[in-house]
A and B are shown apart, each in its own frame.
Chain A
Amino acid sequence: MPEHADRMDRGAPSPDAGAVDRREFVNNLLGACCAGAPLLLGVLRISAAEAQGVDEPYDPTEHLYGMGLDVRKCIGCARCVVACKIENDVPAEPHFFNTWIERYVIRENGEAEVDSPNGGIDGFGPIQNPAAVRRTFFVPKLCNQCASPPCVQVCPVGATFITEDGVILVDEEYCIGCRYCVQACPYGARYMHPEKRVAGKCTFCYHRLVNGLVPACVEVCPTGARVFGELNDRATPLARFTRFNDLQVLKPHLNTKPKAYYANLAAEVS
């Protein structure tokens, strides 16, 4: 048999009893894979559901998140800044913030002075020349979770993106650390993580949202200056907030369509 001769020539084992023919082996392998695949996939799916820790899998298409911030309720205690750093493992040293508090001092001549020493965590010192103050107030700041985010547009690798529920996230495993997004954000809401060497930003505490919790800053805000909820649902605190307040967004002329809505915001704030 020529086939047999060929096999012998290449030094393959002789087709004695118990030996498997090459074609048969490949067929067996394919069969085993087909039989085992559903089992394997099932295990994977179960472990994914367990990791999420919820009974029903989270469906991002059913949500659209936004935050309301009432400037007139903010007391500048910076509990939100502390909570955010703890919850999201933000470096404790200054200059790295997902959210921070700014103090505005409007002088008698209309000039606005803004400061935010360590994001407000260590408190705010006395105001210089207090007699020449027209108004002064605190403004909480964070990523505005824009519907048209410049940071996402400039990312060269697709490592920062907007999810179906409207949250801008950073893929830390895929980010190349080029800092384009830090440059592009008009709100200064991004920074370079000093240890991970990737872009860091507010995630609206996405890991809390998928479990039905509000972001940590909203949880700890003692005066209710921060309100969280859904934009396409009337029965959330945010819907009430939007109904009862005149709202503004920061830098509306940039057409970034922020989803952080401010109530009682002064014109000096940008």
Chain B
Amino acid sequence: MPQQVPRLLAVFVLAVVGLLVARSFLVPETFGDRGHFRAAAVDSISAREKQYAGHAQCALCHSDVTETRLAGDHRSVSCEVCHEPAAKHVAAPMDVKPVIARDRALCVLCHAYNPSRPTGFPQIDSVVHNPRMPCMGCHAAHAPETPVPPQACSACHGQISSQLTVSHHAALLCTTCHEAPEEHRLNPRALRPSKPTQRSFCGTCHAGGISGIPQVDLQNHGEPHVCWQCHYPHHPEAG
């Protein structure tokens, strides 16, 4: 055996041992037990304290309110949205009390009119809608009902009505094109308003030879579609 082989071997073994020793110091405990991470980290993250108890916990004691809520329009609104996180209240029900939510500002967070909100979501203009009055004076928070059915379509369809006011169709009433059953105002999703189903309906103005209104030849234009399938009647294109 050449003389340098044992020496090289010794150096190699020393390097490997050194590496193993260094590794045992540098690699933290439990690293690699479950993957390329410290398994203990998952335990410490799992052990974090929770603030929101969850609506199931509230229902255990407050079953009456839960029943009311689940029967009303706030069925999807969990308790801690308005009453703030209640994990501490669950842990010590007598010592820590959740917030009694009576503030008008709280309701307005969701129900103030905002054009980006989905059409049909109940919204009010909080500046003109009984300002300074607490919402709960008229609306029961756990099972809200509209005391007076909305009078104007814009109460719910704010985005459409604001577009309509700046459009060429601003002078038209909603009822010119839609037939809304009375029930729609009380129970909006059960009975929906109609839409024009005939091309001739739009044709009464747009193919009737009225001057100042864009005219089309219904025979050669857009068959077989209904007009609103291409044109947006709440804000039709100009000219």
Contact = CB atoms under 8 A, between A and B. Distances in A.
Interface of A: 48, 51-52, 58, 60, 72-79, 83, 86-88, 103-105, 123-124, 127, 130-131, 133, 136-138, 158-164, 169, 171-174, 203, 205-208, 210-211, 213-214, 216, 219-224
B36 A158 contact: yes
Given A103-B116, A220-B81, A77 B42 contact: no
Interface residues of B, number: 41
Given A75-B110, A86-B85, A138-B116, A222 B76 contact: yes
B37 to A, nearest CB: 3
A220 B78 contact: yes
Interface of B: 28, 31, 34-38, 41-52, 54-55, 74, 76-78, 80-81, 85, 109-110, 112, 114-118, 121, 159, 162-163, 166
The secondary structure that dominates the B interface is loop
Given A87-B51, A207-B50, A224-B76, A73 B81 contact: no
A207 B36 contact: no
A213 B54 contact: yes
B41 A52 contact: no
Contacts of B45: 169, 203, 206-207
Contacts of B50: 87, 205, 207-208, 211, 213
Contacts of B36: 158, 161
A136 B80 CA distance: 29
A206 B116 contact: no
B121 A216 contact: no
B52 A87 contact: yes
Given A130-B115, A136-B116, A174 B46 contact: no
